Structure 1
Amino acid sequence: MSLMADPPGADRLSVRVRRNTVGDHDEAQRSGFLDALAAGRLPWEAYADLSAQHWFVYEALESAATTMADDPVVGTFLFPELRRLPSIESDLRFLYGPRWADHLFALPATTVYCTRLRDVAHRGSTGFVAHQYTRYIGDLSGGQYLGPAIAQAYGLPEAEGHRFFIFNGVDPRAFKNHYRGLLDTVPWSFAEQEAFIAEVAQAYRLNIAMLSELQSRWGRR
């Protein structure tokens, strides 16, 4: 299978989801909390807190991947090279030390996010793929700028403390094209496609709420 998708038409799901969620996507990209981290304006503990919140989100998502692996659609979208939980745990171990788990605390917005994710991701393929798309495609997009910026701002070693942002063996552009090509071939009905798009928008809003709570927690210090 080619990793390069054909030029998309306006009716393709990969195009419709981007068009219909662009506002939520752009708002997430404009997070003041992430901008402050990238500029090094917050203490390192704020970055560690982000990593901790990511642990809860990706634990929920990747647990759902295991549960839903036999679903014919979900199985098409499972890529072991995307798994982030081991990288997050490595980062937390570097940041907090061997007892990193003692520092994990889910913010209220993170709890809401994970509750929704578990609910829809275990219920069917549209919910699972929506949250997977929102997280991993974002990680392979803006995350590829954010990771090096944070590493530089906080003086992190080359491969320690920011492994979450590093996808070994993955070409971000080629992979995103491949993923969007898969979206365009999923045998969902139109109603299921619309449910997928709506859940992507919801996932963006949940992420925005989590980042806003982190901003409130650390931005005023």
Structure 2
Amino acid sequence: MMDRDTLLLMGVIVIVLIVLGSAYTVMYRGVAPSLLGTYTEAQKTQQASQTQTTGTQAAPFSFGDRFLSIREFSVNYDLEVNMSKIGELSVYLKGDKYRLDLSMENIQYTIIRSGNSNVVCSKPAGEDWSCLQSGSVEEAIQSTGEENLRDPVGEGSKLGSPSYNGSRNYAGQKGYCYYAKETSGELEVLREVCITDKGVPVYYLYMEKTNNIITKRIEAIAKTISSSVQDNVFNPPAAPS
């Protein structure tokens, strides 16, 4: 049988344990979540930093050095505007000869550069071809009035000091993607061109953003690629007037 002093000592010990337990509960419920939240945010920041660092890829080659390094090919693309297909685009290159075709539901265009000669041809649905001489491929494109008609070869030639954006596959070939941005006030224009290791453009993107909202998106997405082009491809479908 315990004496009175022993019982008092045990009572004091129980009270001390209760007080300590209450204090621990307050710390756990009040302080620990705050510390956990701070740690989680710091961890997220660190992980994001690591992801950004490890996601950066070195360009496998200089875009300017590799673009159009072979001088004979043809590519057929789906032409999309704001993620919807509006027609088909084709380009043909052989030496110094170049042809650009646009086929839509109601009209077809053909632009041919051969030496110093540039010809633009059009064929509305149900009508015959008509062709005119033009000062350049750029002027020929402008003369069509089709604001969604883009030239992947011409646009790629103007892509100065682009940044590398990784690789993607198009038409069964690996495309190495490069982009450049231009900003004027609230308007941001982005151009991206993906090329094979031989410099063939297999993807083209033109995108406009205003106040960080996409207002225009034009894409040429390769469907088929050929490494040979017949010479008669560069004959206009009608005599230029």
Computing the radius of gyration from Cα coordinates, the structure with the larger value is 2
Query: What range is the shorter-chain TM-score in?
Result: under 0.3
Q: Which has the higher contact order (CA 8 A, sep 6+)?
A: 1
The structure with the greater share of residues assigned to helix is: 1
TM-score normalised by L of structure 2: 0.21
Whichever structure has more strand as a proportion of its residues is 2
